[in-house]
């Protein structure tokens, strides 16, 4: 009986040893083939991913801008006061005339209690939006860089258009936001 157990133990050990010999890992050739396939797939994916990322940044800026426009209009209707949305380079005041139509640096939405179109110390800020990244252009056709909503929700001055272009892309990827005289915004 004991020789049977001894031979059985040796057979198990031989099988384990044989099994270990077959699974030592990958060869250098297999590793090089896998790395080269990974490099080719990465090379194909990067350009489409960069376009996807730039479109995502453009769409995010558009969503933020249109959301803040709607909030400014609804605040004007709710409070029965003029609400101003202006481009801002410092986050404290509206932009000066040189950069007033560039919205990439951010914007401020505030209730204009005294009607002067400038943010005063006592005027409540509704939204303060910081600089947006990844945009080549976010320009408006408004010379003053201000969109003013009257207390009835209508724009103070005609129609406005803001053009958004992501960085590193062509002009065909441009989307424009049109704000009509009634204060409603839509995409072109």
Mean pLDDT, to the nearest integer, of 91-95? Answer: 81
- 85 Cβ partners below 8 Å, 6+ apart? 68, 69, 72, 107, 108, 109, 146, 147, 148, 149
With cut-offs at 50, 70 and 90, classify the pLDDT of residue 89. confident
* pLDDT (tens digit per residue) in 40-81: 888 887 777 777 888 888 888 889 999 999 999 999 999 999
Question: Which CATH number is 54-187 given?
Answer: 3.55.40.10
Percent of the chain exceeding pLDDT 70 equals: 82
What confidence tens digit (pLDDT) does each residue in 76-87 have? 999 999 999 988
Mean pLDDT score, 135-162: 84
Query: Per residue in 37-51, is it b (16+ CB within 10 Å) or e — as a string?
Result: eeeeeeeeeeeeeee
* Residue 141, token pair as written in the block: 């056709």
């Amino acid at each position: 009986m004991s020789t049977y157990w001894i031979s059985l133990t040796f057979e198990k050990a031989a099988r384990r040893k044989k099994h270990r010999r077959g699974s030592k890992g990958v060869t250098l050739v297999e590793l090089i083939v896998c790395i080269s396939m990974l490099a080719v797939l990465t090379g194909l994916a990067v350009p489409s991913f960069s376009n996807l990322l730039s479109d995502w940044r453009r769409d995010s800026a558009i969503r933020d801008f249109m959301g803040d426009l709607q909030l400014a209009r609804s605040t004007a209707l709710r409070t029965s006061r003029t609400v101003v949305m202006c481009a801002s380079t410092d986050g404290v005041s509206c932009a000066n005339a040189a950069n007033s139509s560039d919205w990439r640096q951010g914007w401020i939405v505030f209730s204009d209690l005294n009607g002067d179109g400038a943010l005063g110390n006592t005027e409540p800020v509704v939204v303060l939006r910081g600089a947006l990244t990844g945009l080549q252009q976010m320009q408006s056709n408004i010379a003053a860089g201000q969109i003013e909503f009257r207390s009835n929700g209508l724009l103070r001055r005609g129609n406005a258009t803001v053009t958004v272009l992501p960085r590193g892309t062509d002009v065909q990827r441009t989307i424009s936001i049109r704000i009509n005289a009634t204060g409603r915004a839509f995409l072109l």
